[in-house]
Amino acid sequence: MVSPSGDEQRPPVLLVEDERDLAAEIRDELQGVGHPVECAQTLEQGLSAARRGGAAVLIVDRMLDGEDGLSLVQALRDEGNPVPVLVISALSTVDDRIRGLKAGGDDYLVKPFALPELSARVEALLRRGARSRATFIKLGALELDLVEREARRDGELIDLQPREFKLLEYFMRRPGQIVTRAMLLEDVWHYKFLPQTNVIDVHIGNLRRKLDSGDGRRFIVNVRAAGFKLDVES
């Protein structure tokens, strides 16, 4: 996989993962979507690389040769390092996630995960700072008034149920960004588990039917093997 030229100017993603095969896959995936990746195998390597600064996002495996990757995160936070952190782990006890986030992790991904899920999370962390807090969002033909709780397409009011409005708001705040089912579950409905039925797809389907106009424009598109994306350019 060849990285697109010009990537070297972008700040890299720092990956601390001792399992070489998985590290290589993650590197390839992230480079494939345009993020340069710097790899570290041990806690010490990771810490010194992170201290040098310049990483856009830090990805840390919690289990590093018997050491807890969280101690790295904790150390960085104690030093006042604000780099966004994604913790990946095979642990998933109820406390683990809380502990991971408390130690200064910004997001927590449990193995087994799909690579697109990982890159979507990294993307979300990278764009988090730039996320709009506005109460009025206009993207292409879509307008969202968060005070009046109204949504419009081409200036025309769309009749949305509260849950559909909530969903649209989530997409409107992340235009062009891949949104996975797990992210929707966690962020919109606060469910920290995957339901067995395809509930999310039905929600998206309902919202889509109301958003799409008769002229074939599609706003929320599927991203294969990953999730959905609000595509306002089309």
Chain residues in the site for another protein (CB under 8 A): 19, 21-22, 25, 29, 90-96, 110-115, 162-163, 189-199, 202-203, 205-206, 225
Query: 14 Cβ partners below 8 Å, 6+ apart?
Result: 37, 38, 40, 46, 49, 50, 55, 57, 58, 59, 83
Nearest 5°: phi and psi at 15? -110, 120
**In the chain, alpha helices (H):** 20-32, 43-52, 69-78, 94-102, 115-127, 162-172, 181-188, 199-211
Nearer to another protein, 91 or 232 (CB): 91
Q: How far is the CB of 219 from another protein (least distance, A)?
A: 18
Q: Provide, rounded to whole angstroms, the least separation between the CB of residue 193 and another protein.
A: 5
Question: In angstroms, rounded to a whole number, what is the distance separating the alpha carbons of residues 67 and 72?
Answer: 10
User: In terms of CB distance, is 151 or 184 closer to another protein?
Assistant: 184
Q: Compute the least distance from the CB of residue 172 to another protein, in Å.
A: 20
Which CB atom, from 134 or from 194, has the smaller least distance to another protein?
194
The least CB distance from residue 65 to another protein, in Å, is 14
Minimum separation from the CB atom of position 145 to another protein (A): 22
Largest CA distance in the chain: 58
In the structure encoding, which two tokens stand for residue 118, read together?
Answer: 């990982």
Between 131 and 163, name the residue whose CB sits nearer to another protein: 163
For another protein, give the closer residue by CB, 50 or 220: 220
Closest of 48, 96, 153, 91 to residue 14, by C-alpha: 48
> How buried is residue 114: exposed, middle or buried, by Cβ count under 10 Å (0-12/13-18/19+)?
middle
Calpha distance 39→50 (Å, rounded): 11
Shorter beta-carbon distance to another protein: residue 127 or 208 = 208
- Taking the complex as a whole, the smallest distance from the CB of residue 182 to another protein amounts, in Å, to 11
